[in-house]
Chain A
Amino acid sequence: MSGATDGRCTDEEADYAVTSAATGGESVWSETTGGAAADAATQFRAVLDAEERWLGAVSRAGDFTVWRSRVVREVMDRRSPYAMALRRAHGAGRQAEFLQSWQALIAETVQRIAPGRDTCALPTATSAASGHPESLAVAILASLHGGATLSWLAQDARSLEAALDIVLTPVLALEEPDGRGDQRSG
């Protein structure tokens, strides 16, 4: 192991305090929306409803950090429908629909906070489309899923936090006065 995130431990207490303040407290999932008892469709619906609300609350680039902290908390909470929806193997058709809806919500949010603007400075042709909101939404959702897998295996939120922080770098850079800012993260 390379000690990937050693020494970069996020202050989870602080993160969660911010999230709790923003959400008005701890979210408690009932057995009908979370836990092993709920079926996949119910969990997908619960995640999409929550995402619609929380992504809807993102009105400027910096708000994505609140969303990010909340997503990390949900994914690491075994009772949350997020954890179940990301962990369980589902029928491909239904899962594809779920992921597409989630991706569309993220893309709309990126589009809303950065209208008509590519969200990343791109030096080469390889990455020509990488700054588009649609592409960023795919990348954010991929990092969320991949990070959730790594964090679940390690039973440690840091991989998911790092993955989301890195993929959100070009979005958060919009907060900088020049609209691009310093994208260096690493």
Chain B
Amino acid sequence: MNANSDESPAIRLTARGMKTRTRIVAAAADLMRVQGIGGTTLDDVMVASGVSKSQLYRHFEDKDALVRAVITNVGEFVIARETNMLGSVSTLAGLRRWRDSLIKANALRHGMYGCALGSLAGEVSDHDAVAREMLDELFRAWQSLIDDALGRMKRAGVLDDSIDTARLAVGFLASLQGGYLLAQTARDVEPMAIAIDVAIAHLETLAAPDRAAS
């Protein structure tokens, strides 16, 4: 056995508690994805996760606390996915593959649910500054991943030396987020594809001479 066999009952209970907590957050994330934050009640979460009211309130004192846990959960997933997808991008072709995978994943659902993180950003209430700041930090991390990819393209000589990659990363992330939203309302992934393609076309105009096709 491993070291866990030496743990006290209290710690084992905590581990069980963690499992319950994970189940609650997963159920809440699913519900909020489909029904929105506003359309999801704590009763819904109880039913979907199969936990009792007292269990739910032991982990989350109110809905705001649960929303923040969902933001952390969804944020970890999105940032891990983007780190994986953008981490090796250093060419325009690589950037187009990133674009293709996002479009393809979203097209499977006709763009219906939008970006998991963007949807939360669109719905978090004005008065929840903590949730807003958590989302801000996650989007900055996403922006940094795009900036890093553009920076690698610049160092590889794909992009012109003079361009401000951090600023372009803001543009890319805005196009992507807006694209998700347009696709969601149109129930069609096409506007998202167009928005990202225009951003990539702009980047192509910034390509170092003779490197536009790389």
Contact = CB atoms under 8 A, between A and B. Distances in A.
Nearest to A94: B185
A184 B38 CA distance: 42
Interface string A135-158: 110110111111101101111001
Interface string A1-40: 1111110100000000000000000000000000000000
Find the residue from B126, B139, B167, B185 having the highest chain A CB count within 10 A.
B167
Contacts of B174: 142-143, 145-147, 149-150, 159-160, 162-163
Given A4-B147, A96-B186, A184 B168 contact: no
Given A123-B205, A130-B194, A138-B194, A143 B167 contact: no
A88 B207 CA distance: 38
A154 B212 CA distance: 34
B132 interface: yes
B170 A124 contact: no
A160 B170 CA distance: 8
A162 B212 contact: no
Interface in B160-193: 160, 162-171, 173-179, 181-182, 184-187, 191-192
Find the residue from B36, B141, B177 having the highest chain A CB count within 10 A.
B177
Interface stretch (B14-22, B41-49, B116-124): B116-124
A184 B163 contact: yes
Main secondary structure, interface of B, reads: helix
A159 B36 CA distance: 25
Contacts of A87: 122
Interface in B103-128: 118, 121-123, 126
Contact of A150 (B163, B173, B179, B187): B173
Nearest to B179: A142
Contacts of A130: 194, 197-198, 200-201
Contact of A144 (B118, B178, B198): B178
B201 A166 contact: no
Find the residue from B36, B163, B181, B202 having the highest chain A CB count within 10 A.
B202
B206 interface: yes
A65 interface: no
Given A142-B191, A162-B167, A89 B204 contact: no
Nearest to A162: B170
A170 interface: yes
A43 to B, nearest CB: 15
A122 B204 contact: yes
Contacts of B204: 122-124, 126-127
The 6 closest A-B pairs by CB, nearest first: A142-B178, A146-B178, A146-B177, A127-B201, A146-B174, A163-B174
